[in-house]
Amino acid sequence: MVGLVLPRLVSFEGAPRRSASVAERNLTSLRSAYWLVLISGFLEPVLYLFSIGIGVGTLVGDLTLPGGRVVSYAGFVAPAMLASSAMTGALAETTFNFFGKMKYMKLYDGIIATPVQPFEIALGELGWAMIRGALYSAAFLVVMVAMDLTSVGRAVTAFPAAVLVGFAFGALGMAVATFMRSWQDFDLMGSAQFTLFLFSGTFVPAEAYPAVLRWVVELSPLYRSVHLIRGISVGAAGWSWLLDVAYLLALTGVGLLVASRRMGRLLYK
């Protein structure tokens, strides 16, 4: 069985074109109700920004970042909401929707009857997920600029960083989805996602946590994402952004590798 799977996994000739076809299939199957899902996914971080970033921010006042830069609390929270928005958009596509297509719709069973390989399916689904994540990120950056929480130049620079965040979480979510057995497993994933949202330097600096918990926080993928985008948005990252980028690139690569290999085992069994 392994011998049947591996040759299809390692052949990359024509992969970009076939992966694009998978993404295009998602685009052509869109329904009007899908846009309501997009709008609701965008509004959630915006509401958090208004309620906590601005509401609680009036009580907290300004914050001094580790580099000595002073920012408003809304300016501190907004990049974290952007990272969270990119994470949420990517995970929604590559976990819930991906799982339904694979396990219940049996969509990929038909696709692998064509020359498309599991890796190309994973890459195409990830690319489609990033369209959603990029829309969220672009819209949220417009809100940040309109609220004077960042400059236009920094917003333009933060956009590809947000896209990278989406790629990393999309690949991770797809890998996790291949291990899920039923819809009930999504309760665990939702709990993990909400825990990351609360404890990734989103609302308080990582330095506020006890030493042991701080190291755990700083190893989480959402913290590295928040750290990267916050550094770009307020100009406080220095060269530490290289570590964040390397972390997210590695997460993307590992996630894609695991997802494609797991799909190969599940679809060719």
HEC profile of 155-172: HHHHHHHHHHHHHHHHHH
Contact present, 177 and 256 (Cβ < 8 Å): no
pLDDT for position 47: 83
In a domain, 12, yes or no: no
pLDDT for position 109: 83
In a domain, 84, yes or no: yes
In a domain, 6, yes or no: no
In a domain, 138, yes or no: yes
Instruction: Give, for all 269 residues of the chain, the pLDDT tens digit.
Output: 344 344 344 455 556 667 767 766 666 666 655 566 667 667 778 888 888 888 888 888 888 777 777 888 999 999 999 999 889 888 888 888 888 888 888 888 888 888 888 888 888 888 888 887 788 888 889 989 998 888 999 999 999 999 999 999 999 999 999 998 888 888 888 889 999 998 998 998 888 888 888 989 999 999 999 999 998 988 765 677 889 999 999 999 999 999 989 988 887 76
In a domain, 10, yes or no: no
In a domain, 119, yes or no: yes
For residues 238 and 227, give the distance between their C-alpha atoms in angstroms, rounded to a whole number: 11
Note down the domain range covering 139.
75-268
For residues 177 and 51, give the distance between their C-alpha atoms in angstroms, rounded to a whole number: 32
How many structural domains comprise the chain? Answer: 1
In a domain, 99, yes or no: yes
